[in-house]
A and B are shown apart, each in its own frame.
Chain A
Amino acid sequence: MIMLFFMTKKIIEQTDIDGYAEVVTLGQGRPLLLDSGEQITSYDVAYKSWGTLNSDKSNVVLICHALTGDQYVRGINPITGKRGWWENMVGPGKPVDTDIYYVICINVLGSCAGTTGPASRIPGTDKSYGIDFPVITIADMVRAQTMLMDHLGIEKIFSVIGGSMGGMQALQWAADYPQRVNTVVAIATTWRHSAQNIAFHEVGRQAIMADTNWRQGRYLDHHDRPHSGLAVARMAAHITYMSESGLTSRFGRNLQDRDKLAFGFDADFQIESYLRHQGISFVDRFDANSYLYITRAMDYYDLSAAHDGVLAEAFRGTKTRFCILSFTSDWLYPTSESRHISRALNAVGARVSFADIDMNKGHDSFLLDCPELFNIVRGFLKSEAEAAGVRVL
């Protein structure tokens, strides 16, 4: 028994080293049941972890990533060669302090950084799922995460933290598994996708499907990829991640490598050049079908749907403590959505904190250097850890 404990500890510590994620194959004997009614009998779940699990497993923090994110929160991302996406939030001495917490981030179901998605091979064949992958939901992603937690022997999670789609997962965790979640930090997120949110996603999906290289979703069989469609989808989406004032202060009407208008359709303006770069650099690291499936999952997201449209009912009786954070300049998931969540939580007597952080960089503010955000998250986690009696190593 003691041997086993030390062995587990060793495996966990090894994941500290930068590099590829751990991948676990799940589903044998316990298929993943999806909201659509379909099931997946064998699937991979890729994750990364930092810090050390304490002896009573009370210091687990689950970071949930956004639409195009992955499990590489810290360190060098082996897929892109770039630094992790939330290094300013997670790490030794950071708000989510890896000297205190054992931090896990799991690549979501349907994605393309190691967890099973449409680009994965169908088990026992040499073909990829493509468009035959079942349509998934945010609840399905969370269900797959619970399977990994079960596999790791982790019952209770001290805090589930996420921004954007990560925040949706965090709220879904609290709604579906209230007894497993001590605290939730949901940042720049929403409780259901609005018509406007769905509309922007539909533009992205149509751009992908209009690309002749998409080949009805079977592009991998033809060794092809709908790069132009995916790049346009990313460009349209990227606009929604920034604010008008952020764009104006960064680019204005500045021209790109020229001092007068070219009277053509090249990238005259810096903002055009910037968006094109965002589009082109995205296609190398992301699968187009994954983009279709995950945006669909987000569009289907509505925590109130199972409760006749009354969001509060999704959280009735909850003992979980919530920290809901929005940004003043976020027009993708505006402050009003977070306010609605905090009011719904108050209506059922849940413990909730809500702050609207003054930051002018739009939706993506949650990924940027924001001292106010860091102070709040650090303070919230610290006091909750004390209240919950999280054993410091």
Chain B
Amino acid sequence: MTEQGSRASDIRVDLLEIARLIEPRSTVLDVGCGTGSLLDYLVREKQVDGRGIELSPSGVNSSIAKGLSVIQGNAEEDITYYPDDCFDYVILSQTLQAMKQPDHMLAELLRVGRKAVVSFPNFGHWKVRLNLALRGTMPVNKTLDHPWYSTPNIHFCTIRDFVNLCGQQDIHLEQSMAINAKGYRMPFHNLFLANLMATQGMYVITRK
């Protein structure tokens, strides 16, 4: 409820990057929409027809109170109830790594949406590699703030892993973006550098 009073432009920088990718007046499904801040921004600033799915009751309640059409549910199960091609964009922001079957999820995103915007924490980042190499422990930092035994993030991947999976699934990478710790786009187009330097990967994907 605290977010109700805030200005619509006060959303996280990386969410703003996602918002830039969305055409005005399009139809959008935000899978794992949290408290609805991105969706709310898109509805107000880009006049999209927006819907959301969210697991946490508190996220759902504050989304509905904002006037957003959000349903409480499990993303992997609920997305199967949407008809084919019913959205221009499906957004999966920082959620892929919490899915039981990320590969199935990517297929579902592109079944219900013409395009999907997917962002995920990059396990190939040099600090993660260094941490594992030197300290020999799983990383716990600001973006990955759970210890290994209680993390909801059960399927971590690197940017290269993601690109490989898309290749296997015949998914076209329309736009590739490397995002830094502050949420801004980095100027890397080289996969090796992006995989080493970016804390987040962000992709616009389509069916081939």
**CB <8 Å contact, A379 and B72:** no
A257 to B63 CA separation, bound complex (whole angstroms): 48
Whether A276 is near chain B, meaning CB under 8 Å from some CB there, is no
A interface footprint on B65-108 (CB within 8 Å = 1, 0 otherwise): 11111111100001001110010000000000000000000000
Binary CB contact string for chain A from 343 to 383 against chain B (1 if under 8 A, 0 otherwise): 10011010111111110000000000000100110111011
- B165 touches A (CB below 8 Å): no
- Report whether A347 and B83 are in contact in the complex, using a CB–CB cutoff of 8 Å: yes
Q: A187 an interface residue at 8 Å Cβ cutoff?
A: no
Verify B65–A356 contact, CB threshold 8 A.
Answer: no
The CA of A346 and the CA of B77, in the complex, are separated in Å by: 13
Chain A residues with CB under 8 A of B1: 375
Given A372-B61, A376-B61, A380-B67, do A347 and B73 touch, yes or no (CB 8 Å)? no
Residue of A343, A357, A372 with most partner-chain B CB within 10 A = A343
The docked-state distance in angstroms from the alpha carbon of A326 to that of B197 is 46
Contact A353 B71 (CB under 8 A): yes
In the complex, A358 Cα to B57 Cα: how many Å?
8
Of residues 42 through 68 on chain B, the ones whose CB sits less than 8 Å from some CB of chain A are 51, 57, 60-61, 63-68
Q: Let me know if A387 is at the binding interface, CB within 8 A.
A: yes
Q: What is the total number of residues of chain B having a CB less than 8 Å from a CB of chain A? A: 21
Contact residues in B for A387 (Cβ distance below 8 Å): 67
Are A321 and B69 in contact, CB atoms less than 8 angstroms apart? yes
Whether B78 lies near A378 (C-beta < 8 A) is no
A307 to chain B, nearest CB (A): 16
Assess whether A339 is interfacial by the CB under 8 Å rule: yes
Q: Is A323 an interface residue (CB 8 A)?
A: yes
Query: Which B residues lie within 8 Å of A347 (CB)?
Result: 81-83
Chain A residue nearest to B54 (CB atoms) is A355
Contact partners of A351 in chain B: CB under 8 A: 51, 69
Shortest CB distance B27–A (Å): 9
Whether the Cβ atoms of A375 and B65 lie closer than 8 Å is yes
In the complex, residue of chain A having the shortest beta-carbon distance to the beta carbon of B83 = A347
Q: Check A355–B64 contact: CB distance below 8 A.
A: yes
Interface string of A93-125 (1 = CB under 8 A from B): 000000000000000000000000000000000
Classify the interface of chain A: helix, strand, loop or mixed. helix
User: If the complex has contacts A349-B83, A356-B72, are A383 and B67 also in contact, measured as CB distance less than 8 A?
Assistant: yes
Partner of A376, one of B51, B64, B71, B86: B64
Q: Which residues of A contact B70 (CB under 8 A)?
A: 353-354
Residues of B within 8 A of A126 (CB): none
B86 and chain A: residue at smallest CB distance: A349
Q: For the complex, give the distance between the alpha carbons of A377 and B70 in Å.
A: 14
List the B residue with the shortest CB-CB distance to A342: B71
Question: A347 vs B65: C-alpha distance in the bound complex, in angstroms?
Answer: 23
Q: With A346-B71, A376-B64 in contact, is A356–B78 under 8 Å at CB?
A: no
A18: CB under 8 A from chain B? no
Q: Which residues of chain A are near B64, meaning CB under 8 Å?
A: 323, 353, 355, 376, 379-380
A386 within 8 A of B: yes
Considering the complex, give the chain B residue whose CB is closest to the CB of A335: B72
User: How far, in angstroms, from A355 to B66 measured CA to CA in the complex?
Assistant: 13
Report the minimal beta-carbon distance from B3 to chain A, rounded to whole angstroms: 12
A346 CB, nearest partner CB in chain B, Å: 6
User: Is A384 in the interface zone, CB < 8 Å from B?
Assistant: yes
A382: nearest chain-B partner, CB-CB: B67
- Interchain CB contact under 8 A, A379 and B67: yes
Q: How far is the CA of A339 from the CA of B81 in the complex (A)?
A: 11
Q: How far is the CB of A370 from chain B (nearest CB, A)?
A: 11
With known contacts A343-B81, A349-B83, A355–B61 Cβ distance under 8 A: yes
Q: CA of A356 to CA of B86 in the docked complex: distance in angstroms?
A: 25
Complex Cα distance, B207 from A284, in Å, reads: 66
Of the candidates A379, A382, A383, the one having the most CB atoms from chain B within 10 angstroms of its own CB is A379
User: With the chains together, A352 CA to B51 CA distance in Å?
Assistant: 8
B69→A353 contact, CB < 8 A: yes
Contacts of B57 in A (CB 8 A): 355-358
Within 8 A of B (CB), among A327-347: 339, 342-343, 346-347
Q: How far is the CB of B26 from chain A (nearest CB, A)?
A: 14
Determine the distance from Cα of A349 to Cα of B84 in the docked complex, in whole angstroms.
11
- List 12 A-B residue pairs with CB atoms under 8 Å apart, sorted by A's residue number: A321-B69, A347-B83, A352-B69, A353-B69, A354-B60, A357-B61, A358-B57, A376-B64, A380-B65, A380-B67, A384-B67, A387-B67
Leading 8 A-B pairs by shortest Cβ distance = A383-B67, A379-B65, A354-B71, A343-B81, A353-B64, A351-B69, A355-B60, A342-B71
Not counting A354-B72, A355-B57, A357-B61, a sample of 16 additional A-B residue pairs whose C-beta atoms are within 8 angstroms of each other reads A339-B73, A343-B78, A343-B81, A346-B71, A351-B51, A352-B71, A353-B60, A354-B73, A356-B72, A376-B61, A376-B65, A379-B65, A380-B65, A383-B66, A384-B67, A387-B67
